[in-house]
Structure 1
Amino acid sequence: MKTKTIQKTLLNSALVAALAFAGTASASLFDSGLPSGWDCVGTCGALGADGDVTAPPTGSSQYGYVVSSSNGPTGIGLDGLVGTTGSTLKSNLFSAQDGDELNFIFNYISSDGAGYADYAWARLLNELNEEVAILFTARTTDSGSIVPGFGMPDPTATLNPDSVMMNPGAPNWSPLGGDSGSCFSTGCGYTGWIESSYNISAAGNYFLEFGVVNWNDTSFQSGLAFDGITVGGNPIDTNPVPVPATLGLLGLGLLGLRLRRKQK
């Protein structure tokens, strides 16, 4: 076995062991499907070990995913970057304190290679849907690093490993639909599980967004799997923020009760 292969095997084994210990707190996030209230545009879902995408090393039975379906909506992507059809999944609004660490793992899978450089990302958004931080990028290339994505914004999160190449070949993963087991030229494959960690610098309310898009065509899909999402050591959905509209309706209801009591 070559030295680089041995090093990669040892690194992946160490990451899996670390995540299996650190991520057990969020084991149930996707086990019953996508969490209630999460906003999907395009093709999203939850799935267990499937083909080349193993069960997440968090103890979960399932992970969440998004796929750049050929029948998906258009106009999705990061500002200033090419994109055709794609999908995004956005969490419920959650609260965080200054210094809280946001953690999750992800796995990028692509059947598109060569010049059709599909890409994926995760972002932290504030409650006005303004970008606060890029948490990772992944972009198909026929050689070199897939994560972070070449020609894309630098992530402000810490990635482990910090630079990842594809496990090459036609990836088998059922969310790719008819493209599962297919590959357009060099660059197809999957990254395996990667960890992203980011220290939130200001207390507030935030959204977490995952996305994946086709580059400049609608063929040979790419996808993104993710799991183990914690904020300040707690599963992300344990820190929900009530929807403003719901609070407004509650306020109107209380006002109505007060008026009725005065009339009596």
Structure 2
Amino acid sequence: MAIPTRSLAATAAAVFICAAGPGHAQVFDAGMPPGWQCTGNCGTAPEDGDITLAPGGGAQYGWVSTNGGAAGVRLPGIGVPGDSHSGSTLRSHLFTAQASDVLQFQFNYVTTDGGDFSDYAWVRLLHADGTQAALLATARTAPGGGAVPGFGMPAGAATLDPPYSNVEGITPTWSPLGGDSGECYVEPCGQTGWITADYAIAATGQYMLEFGVVNWVDPSADTGLAFDAISLDGVPLAPIPEPGRLGMLAAGVLVLELMRRWRRRGA
């Protein structure tokens, strides 16, 4: 029985749309991308208070905040577990990268706590099993106002532009900070502004990006990290297809082949 060309075309289109739709890499304009995993408090936001959109980013950016964060979140090697009161991490879906591919992203550190026990944030590249491949960038205020690279933290492997950043202003207004928005517990408070980070992948493999922030010692004076414009060699991070999605893609190819054969028989 012949299958109408229009029905075959519609079926093929539907299969390819379903297979490719979530395959678009991180696009914060549509909210949190499928496959990204949050611990604590994470979200997406448009331009909000003092925090503008990222250069080269979209109409929304991603963020993590210590406000509403989870207990036990910390960057390994920084202090002792008891010093980390609460925090949040956001991990991307798995993606494949080739050696020497350039990973690029923008980030902005926003804090209401610049004291001796200041909060901190980081960006890491992780292997598929969750172990660290590279610590890319850190942020933490110093008494003199410096915040990136993070005061008293390991050096990040990414190249930053600008290479050093202070926090600017004393009362950051930003919804993800919750009740601490517009407050400053101890100066210096504020934001670093958007910073560009570039990192050349060291070895071919499967990776995740992790964005994290921690409230140090006590629950007061919250801090957050905004990020956007994430790309690998100039294109968005493409998630590794799930087995079921690969099957759908193969079904679409089969439908198109059947359509071509039907056309040849009808010619």
TM-score, normalization by structure 2: 0.78
Letter in 2 for 1:39: Q
Q: Structure 2: which 5+ runs fail to align?
A: 1-23, 248-267
Distance 1:142 1:190, change over 3 A: same
Is 1:84 matched up with 2:80?
Answer: no
Equivalent residue, structure 1, for 2:240: 241
Contact 2:107 2:227 in 1 (8 A): yes
Deviations 1:72-118 (A, max 9, x none): 21111111214220000000000001110000000000011212210
Separation in 2 of the partners of 1:211 and 1:145?
19
Separation in 1 of the partners of 2:138 and 2:52?
21
Equivalent residue, structure 1, for 2:206: 205
Equivalent residue, structure 1, for 2:146: 145
Is 1:61 matched up with 2:59?
Answer: yes
Structure 1 residues 1-264: aligned runs within 5 Å:
29-69=27-67, 71-82=68-79, 83-236=84-237, 238=238, 240-242=239-241
Letter in 2 for 1:114: G
Separation in 2 of the partners of 1:201 and 1:144?
33
Separation in 2 of the partners of 1:129 and 1:51?
34
Contact 2:177 2:223 in 1 (8 A): yes
Deviations 1:1-54 (A, max 9, x none): xxxxxxxxxxxxxxxxxxxxxxxxx99710011101100001000001111101
Separation in 2 of the partners of 1:54 and 1:144?
21
Separation in 1 of the partners of 2:120 and 2:195?
16
Q: CA deviation at 1:141?
A: 2.4
Instruction: Count how many residue pairs are aligned between Structure 1 and Structure 2.
Output: 218
Q: CA deviation at 1:139?
A: 0.3
Separation in 2 of the partners of 1:35 and 1:89?
11
Letter in 1 for 2:56: T
TM-score, normalization by structure 1: 0.79
Deviations 1:207-234 (A, max 9, x none): 0000000011111100000000001221
Separation in 2 of the partners of 1:189 and 1:27?
31
SS at match of 2:177: helix
Q: CA deviation at 1:202?
A: 0.9
Separation in 1 of the partners of 2:120 and 2:75?
10
Separation in 2 of the partners of 1:117 and 1:203?
36
Separation in 1 of the partners of 2:175 and 2:145?
26
Distance 1:142 1:199, change over 3 A: same
Contact 1:27 1:60 in 2 (8 A): no
Separation in 2 of the partners of 1:96 and 1:115?
39
Contact 2:25 2:33 in 1 (8 A): no
Deviations 1:184-217 (A, max 9, x none): 0212110000011000011110000000000111
Over the aligned positions, Cα root-mean-square deviation in angstroms equals: 1.7
Q: CA deviation at 1:59?
A: 4.5
SS at match of 1:31: helix
